[in-house]
Structure 1
């Protein structure tokens, strides 16, 4: 099973070299690495080119970028990886093992910051995901390519695309919830404050559950101008 890794990026010049070099072992083992740039203004795409198999341009938005990467992928398994997320050791082997028995899955997550608040946030994310079969993009969602197509891919919305996809996916199959952890950046919690960010995400998720428009929620989150 060949793995295609899709990495959506936007203005990640400061860390893109190190991030992609961490994936070099997977590339040597046969994985395809696809970087999809959403209109970076800091040269991210040019920096990524020496370390990737494919570098694409796409309209801004993780959903649009990840879907563009999936369409360009040649592998029969897909891994959607955020640029600020680090895979655990043997990630390729873990994914291959999981996809022998399941159609899709995700990893547990840890945050790259010290302190009980960050450990509690990660623990709650993992528990919520395990109970609901809903994963966030921070958890490095992976799946068989055919399953991605059967589930309809990521919807073209500005926010909550991972939740929307997982809601459709879990109707088809339960995910493999791997306890091996990816480590993702705590920068949004550090920038805006831990509890302020937690409460904001709770409000946004509740609003989305109650039917709020994803583009409007993205404006509240700070992703784009108000529609």
Structure 2
């Protein structure tokens, strides 16, 4: 790429994240740089707990969209002004200097990628699964690892499939592996174990494994969501 380095638009989908949105925005501010980060877009799916006001007061650009993470992230991508889109969950903290690592990767021709994963508690079982995020294979990917992608590649690959209420990240990343070289960046994001605490660590990991298997065997978005609703506390 020539001229000025590309700028990053950070896109954060939210739904009732009042406890986490300000700590995340502060973390992004303290561990990134306005030299690389053009804007932070919070795309809300109908929060009733003050998330919208908190994010707006902090200085993020806040939009309301239809509920559903895929829909919210596509909505954000359509309004982003940066050449690079960085999708970040509200309970995931990127590493220090994450913006520099992303810009450097894009400058080297790596148009899409993610960070390795670490959980916010020292659970050995979860640490074992997080260890696999260092391997560059679609089976080792997930939305909690965050995702950067150039706007051009996002448009080319048509973004997230809004038919998926769950599994939207993995489905999209699977298509990206088919269309582009995928980069695993140095450093780790730290993500919350709150869903594991709600559902039980081994039980939840088992159900995630079943969803992966169902998708591999050809199950569509409705079947995956039906299984999710029956077995996992959201």
How far 1:133 sits from its partner (Å)?
Answer: 7.2
Q: 1:41 pairs with 40, 48, 57, which one?
A: 48
Counterpart position of 2:126 = 118
Select the residue among 13, 20, 30 that pairs with 1:15: 20
Counterpart position of 1:31: 38
Quote the RMSD (CA, aligned, Å).
1.7
> What is the CA distance between 1:73 and its match in structure 2?
0.1
SS in 2 for 1:23: helix
- For the pair 1:69 / 2:97, whether they are aligned, the reply is no
CA apart distance, 1:197: 0.7
1:135 matched residue in structure 2: 141
Any stretches of 5+ residues in structure 2 without a counterpart?
Answer: 1-5
Helix, strand or coil for the counterpart of 2:185? Answer: strand
State whether residues 138 and 174 of structure 2, in contact with CA within 8 Å, keep that contact through their aligned partners in structure 1: no
Once the two structures are superposed, the pairs formed by residues 64-103 of structure 1 within 5 Å of their partners are 64-100=71-107, 101-103=109-111
Provide the rounded CA distance (Å) in 1 between the counterparts of 2:78 and 2:59. 16
Instruction: Provide the TM-score with structure 1 as the length reference.
Output: 0.91
User: TM-score, normalising length from structure 2?
Assistant: 0.89
Q: Report Cα offsets for 1:80-127 as digits up to 9, x if no partner.
A: 000000010100100011112211010000000113112112113443
Aligned length: 221
Pairing 1:167–2:159 present: no
Q: After the TM superposition, which segments of 4 or more aligned residues of structure 1 sit over 6 Å from their partners? A: none
Change (3 A) 1:94 1:27: closer
Q: For the Cα contact (< 8 Å) 1:133–1:174, is it kept in 2?
A: no
The offset of 1:28, in angstroms, is: 3.1
Measured in 2, the distance between the counterparts of 1:206 and 1:152 equals 24
Once residues 162 and 214 of structure 1 are traced to their aligned partners in structure 2, the CA distance between those partners, rounded to angstroms, is 12
The CA deviation at 1:58 is 1.0
Deviation string, structure 1 residues 108-155 (Cα, Å, up to 9, x no partner):
00000113112112113443xx13376311011001110100111011
Q: Which runs of 5+ in 1 are unaligned?
A: none
In the alignment, the residues of structure 1 paired with residue 170 and residue 46 of structure 2 have an alpha-carbon distance, to the nearest angstrom, of 24
2:154 alignment partner in structure 1: 148
Shift of the alpha carbon at 1:56? 0.6
CA distance in 1, matches of 2:189, 2:178: 25
Give 1:185 shift.
Answer: 0.6
